[in-house]
Structure 1
Amino acid sequence: MSSGKKEYNREKSANQFVLMIMTVIDTFLFAGYINDYRQGNIGFQFMLSVVLTVVVTLGTSYAVFFRKKDTEKFKYVSVAGYMAVYALAVFGAKNDLVFVMVFPLTVIYILYYNYKVILGIALAFGAINMADLVYVVAILKHMHSGKEWDTASMLLQGASVLVYLAVLCGTTKLSNKNNDLRIASLNEEKEKSAGLLRDVLEVVSVVRQNSAQAEEYIQILGQNIASASSALGDISEGNSHNTENIGKQTVMTGNIQNMILETKQMSDEMLELSKQSANAVREGQNFAENLQRQSEKTREANGQVADSVTSLIQNAKAVEEITEQIFSISSQTNLLALNASIESARAGEAGRGFAVVADEIRTLADETRKLTEMIQNIVTELRQNAGTAKATVDNVLDVTHEERKLIRSTMQQFTSIGEKMDGLNWDVQEIYGKIEEILTSNQAIVDSINQISAVSQEVFASTQQAVELGEDTNQQAQQVRECMEELKRTVDSVGRYAAE
């Protein structure tokens, strides 16, 4: 059944591959001849005959293949179609190399491992090529391409095709012979394997008998071990109850110990938090004191600034009065210089020099008046800015005064908090001391229970070890029994080959 299935698969695969190659080659032929017709290289009737032959032969091959994919008829139908297309292409070609189509068309049929088919293909395609050579020499009297026929080219075509077909036949025959030798060798190995299997089956029969006796002995041993393990289990169970009770007491004492430790840890945290709070209060008091000192310095500095601004305003007033006097003097000087200039003009040539001096004095008086006006403007702006600065400093002094009040209130609150934190710290230290005493007493109880538990654990461990030894022995016996059962199943499996 298996051999037939392999033959079926091989035939189907070969048919499928040949059909695929046929489709590719016929597609190129179809497109090539249509292109030659468009270019005017061949006539319409020849192109139509080639196209119809390609379509009919390829369609027939597809129909045979899909009717039954592993049919032996396919190779005969496909090669017949190839021969028709090849003969038509060779005799009607306008190219001298069309004969090379024989190579891809025929080599794929080696897949069928059928020497008779290959021999028939070689004879048929060889005859087509020989007929083509006779046709060229005797009828056309020139090459297919229109050139004068060349003896060397003709011999090359005939020799290459005949040698190729001869090699194809020889290769197929030799390949089939090698396959036959390989099959004969496989059959010989099969006979040797059959003899070896008979010897193995005889050994299996003996092993089956011995394994049955061994399994009975192992079952008896397992029953004895189970009885001993049961007795040890009762003893171990009694010790286990005692150990369990002691364990519960140990757990309860441990829980108490853990709760005490947690309480101690919380008291440690409370003590630490109390210390941190006290430190924070002291830092706050120090900060408030520093802030108060800084506020006092700020108040004094603002007072000095206020005094300086007041002095600046007074000095600005004095400068303003002086500039007013200078402005008045410059105006009088300008008036006197104008009068002197008028008088010198009346004096004529004698008063000309004095007139020049009077003009210079008047010019200087005008410049002095302008500078005095500029100074007055600057002093006025300075007084305004000084007034604004004084108002700002007064506001700062008021804010500083309020700030000092708040700082004094904050210091009083910090002092009250510090006193309360000192009392809280004392209470926490008292709680911490009591917890230390409880922890010491409970630790003594834990140590006593641990000693009792240790002794009980030793007794339980000894009994448990004996139980485990019994269980291990029982498990080993069970494993041996499983191995024997596995051996028996293996022997039975081998025995099925004898039945077959």
Structure 2
Amino acid sequence: MDFNALLRRSILVAAVVALGAGTTVYFFNDWFHDDFLVRLNIAQPLGDALGTVLIVAVAALAQRLVSLAFFRDHMFGLSTVQEKLQSASHKIAAVHEEVARELRTVPTYNGVLRDQLASVVQQTEQAAYDITSRLQAIDEVVGRLNDFVAQTSHESEELEADSEQKFAQNQRLIGEMRDYIAARIAEAQADQARVEQVVHEARSLESLTKLIKDIAAQTNLLALNAAIEAARAGEAGRGFAVVADEVRKLSAETEKAVVAINQGIQGVASTIEVQLQEKLSSMNLDKEQAALGQFADQLVQLGDSYEELLRHQGAVIDTVRDSSQKLATMFMETMASVQFQDVTRQQIEHTAEALTRLDEHLAGLAERLAQAENPDFNYVPLAEHLDQLYARYVMESQRSTHKQSLQRHSEAPTGSPKVELF
């Protein structure tokens, strides 16, 4: 009960008692002085004194009765309030004991959390060690791959330089091949023209043999005329007839020889034409030209394919080299990322230290509840523990998180219901 309520109750009781006292004096004043004092033979001053004492005593008794009537006790309801306060005090003491007992068990709970955090540190440390071991094995493989790529790249560059020289030589040889094909075709065409000319000249001898055959026929006719004339001449022309007969025989032999020569010339021309016709025909020349041209084209395509192969090989080597370098860079970044375990370990250790400080602070609060009536009992406030914890941070992320957490708590809504502790 607050002071205002007690004041209102005391004024109310006093007003009722005063009203009763005033009413009694008003109605019984004459009776008291004129009748009661006279009967008792008491002087008026002494009677007034006795009346005052009596009124005060009755007022005090009336005050108790009125308080009992209105508030169920003799002290304006203070006894009920006292009983409630005593009951609340016992409850608070029980709560204090219960809270202190629970606070003393919090270190055990935090100990379990610290052990769990220690287990996490151990597991992450073992996992980081395993990852580091595997990354070292990968580093060896990457190193060998880099060496292989470097060696292969160097050999590829040498091979490419040598291949460029060979490609230039091949291009020169292809050019020479084309020149040879052109010369060979020109030569074949010239041979064909020469053979045709030889055949033509050989066939042109037929006119000469025909001329000789005609001369032989004329000679034969002349010898026949001479034989006829010799026969007419009789004995005088006998010798001339013999000559004419011989000339006729020579003419016949000449004609036979001319026929044989003509047949021989025709046979030689036909043989030359038949033997060289297939070799020097325009179709065969076209086929040979096409075959040689196709061969030259295939050599050009082969050279182009080889050059394309070299470019593709160079591109593959460059891609593998770039990928190997990126892989090495990513590996180094991964190795650096493994340091997260050390960062995590430090953060967990600071958290475990904070839990230890919280254990100490809760133990102090439990002792404070146990010594609630000791005004000299002191303990370190939790804010100082937070400041000390902040001072022990070694990473900027920890300080930033600490500040952000305190800022969020300081900006928390203030409209929440308040709790008052007795």
Please give the TM-score of this superposition, normalised by the length of structure 2: 0.39
- Higher alpha-carbon Rg: 2
TM superposition score normalised by structure 1: 0.34
